[in-house]
Amino acid sequence: MQDSPRPQVLVDPYERACRAYFDRAKLAGYAHVDQPSESMSGEETIEGKTYFVLRNSRGPLDIFEIGTDGRLWHKPDFDLDSLEASG
């Protein structure tokens, strides 16, 4: 019996965050969402926790907490406006 191919694992947090960002937008029925910029996005430490923030030239788009196991946890209640000054 042959093993079925394993699904591709997204290791890069930018790719994983983008996938989650666009998947949620599609589920919500948005026809258009802002495109994140890889060069402007990245890990940030806020109040002792590590987050991955998707950004573009217009500002922060979405935020995910990075768990100790490397998982990204979406933070829908996080005040993205509070990141404007720090980004």
Predicted confidence (pLDDT) per residue in 20-55, tens digit = 999 999 999 998 999 999 999 999 999 999 999 999
Query: Residue 8: is its pLDDT beyond 80?
Result: no
Compute the average pLDDT of residues 59-81: 93
Query: What pLDDT score was predicted for residue 4?
Result: 59
Per-residue HEC secondary structure of 14-73 comes to HHHHHHHHHHHHHHHCCCCCCCCCCCCCEEEEECCEEEEEEEECCEEEEEEEECCCCCEE
Give the model's confidence band at 11: pLDDT under 50 very low, under 70 low, under 90 confident, else very high: confident
Q: Is the pTM of this model over 0.85?
A: no
